[in-house]
Chain A
């Protein structure tokens, strides 16, 4: 059913269709409306789940951890400071191999306080052992929720899954969305059947402590699971696109990259804008391409390498920083390219804390690189001249 809905509703509705057993989250802008919508569905009797109002994100993450350990399908959502507060629990959940699915409505982190969008929050948990995808639009966000459960709960994977959606830009935007039906979701997503769970019939101990002779194997096993997840996700992308008839590409989506001299890389809602610009420049006969990175963890290094093999120059639009190093996506791309091609790398930090990203800015960045007017390296676009002050 096609309807014009806002992003948070599209997400909440998809969660409902996945038949979660326990939902728990704590309000934080711009995530809040997702769980408010779920609360409303619960109140109206449309959602057959336990809905728990936690006292903090730390508790929310802990509650879904406990519920997942007991064998329930769970959901939570957060943003920014909330994700930072959950961090310790999320590392723990990943280590316990619990397939918790959550949405992060991406938002910048304090200080200075900002409620607006960038990707700094989700980057803070990139090493936790959590699968991470970025949705480009609300249709994709809606469709990726059942996929997240399918992948996270797959016995070859068993890792938490974060679906990133750009705060406000997607969560609060009205878009036409083809809403999934219960039958379709049921046909794709089987009920959760955990390999191990807390049960008095067959007691197990979870979250044990591991001395040096044991610890490393557990952590390396997570790495193997993450590697397997790549394949499992591809199967799921394929199956899902066959069922719903919408194909978003695989871990990446390489557009016009075959003969492109300059390839622009983006994640999330910025992809749409960059695509527009690339299409327009193509019409002008310029050899530019777009590489949309959809899966950030496991990072699709091979696909990135393949897509960039003919490019002389690469522009990475970065929505976060790793203060003191290259920004996160740049690090990944460089690492993927190491030992193969070595194009110029332009790391362009843009739109932090919700700073507007006008179309002309994207045009300017790509044109300047295309015409060789700027040197490779790290830059900040849209930053006013300023004097450093300690706030």
Chain B
């Protein structure tokens, strides 16, 4: 059996299976997987149809970080640390909203775990509701588009900076558009003892309104516009960024997805597009992303 699949029930073209496979391959299957409730869990852990080739536990929606901490403590207590790394795969809702406190607790205690947030920018399992990581302007079922509301109002929470602020040894962002980069980051991450956080951008075909074949292309556009900078911190210091060869306008990224389509018609739409462009430009400046 492989580490993940075959036979999982994710939508064709879903982003997160790319991430899960890349991470487990990088770790050569030496992993204890903890997975909160969400799309990944539902498509992979049905009784009698479990697709995991590694030890796996589905916790609850909000406590994957703490359950991982407990597993890590047990492996330490039982002298079984050599068996593998404790790895969390959690959605953006599980990480940045309901499970936020426990992510912080596990980072604060610096448990030797690798926490991977697959960021599909909404609660996809329950049908595309907004999370703290839904970007401004996106249409979700709880931030619908109407006369008074042009999709989500408000920011995307910066989980990478929050993780860095905890002083944990390794933090990175990655994208399913660049699985080899993700693999390298995983290998680097586990060289550090303590808590590691990798934030992985992972498109959702249904929630974002894209074609299954466009996943990698859309994921890459997010990086190439500067909206989704791929960065790496070791002990709080920025050590590497993925340079952008040719900066693309955010409109190109937005136009590729149904969840942003209204921005080009709604009276408030222009302002939000400009705001997103400003965020992208700021990222480019902040991380010096442009290739000289």
Contacts and interface: CB of A to CB of B under 8 A. Distances in A.
A209 interface: yes
A67 B74 contact: yes
Nearest to A88: B60
B57 A205 contact: yes
Nearest to B53: A203
B97 to A, nearest CB: 15
B176 interface: no
Contact of A198 (B41, B57, B102): B57
A344 B93 CA distance: 54
Interface centre among A24, A68, A208, by most chain B C-beta atoms within 10 angstroms, is A208
Given A24-B70, A56-B101, A72 B60 contact: no
Given A66-B71, A70-B32, A200 B58 contact: no
A203 B83 contact: no
A50 B102 contact: no
A52 B80 CA distance: 18
A204 B77 contact: no
A11 B9 CA distance: 48
Given A71-B78, A72-B78, A208-B58, A66 B83 contact: no
A65 B67 contact: yes
Interface residues of B, number: 45
Given A22-B77, A50-B77, A70-B74, A200 B105 contact: no
Given A21-B74, A50-B73, A209 B52 contact: no
A21 B79 CA distance: 11
A65 B78 CA distance: 16
A203 B72 CA distance: 16
Contacts, number: 160
Nearest to A51: B73
Interface stretch (B43-51, B201-209, B279-287): B43-51
Interface in B103-122: 104-105, 108-109
Nearest to B43: A209
Contacts of B223: none
Interface string B13-50: 00000000000000001111010000001100111101
A55 B101 contact: yes
B70 A62 contact: yes
Contact of B59 (A49, A66, A211, A214): A66
Nearest to A55: B105
B236 to A, nearest CB: 21
A209 B57 contact: no
Contact of B102 (A22, A59, A67, A68): A59
A207 interface: yes
A208 B70 contact: no
A110 interface: no
Interface residues of A, number: 42
A4 interface: no
A52 B73 contact: yes
Most buried by B among A58, A62, A68, A92: A62
Contact of B50 (A24, A52, A66, A208): A208
Contacts of B55: 198-200, 203-205
B195 interface: no
B56 interface: yes
Contacts of A198: 32, 55-57, 71
B46 A211 contact: yes
Contacts of B45: 205, 207-209
Contacts of A207: 45, 57-59
Given A52-B70, A74-B70, A198-B71, 10 more contacts: A50-B73, A58-B101, A62-B63, A66-B59, A66-B73, A70-B74, A200-B30, A200-B83, A206-B58, A209-B42
A220 interface: no
Given A200-B83, A200-B84, A205-B50, A92 B74 contact: no
Nearest to A22: B73
A312 interface: no
Contacts of A208: 45-47, 50, 58
A60 B30 CA distance: 26
B75 interface: yes
A92 B70 contact: no
A66 B67 contact: yes
B76 interface: yes
B172 interface: no
Interface in A291-339: none
Contact of B63 (A21, A49, A58, A69): A58
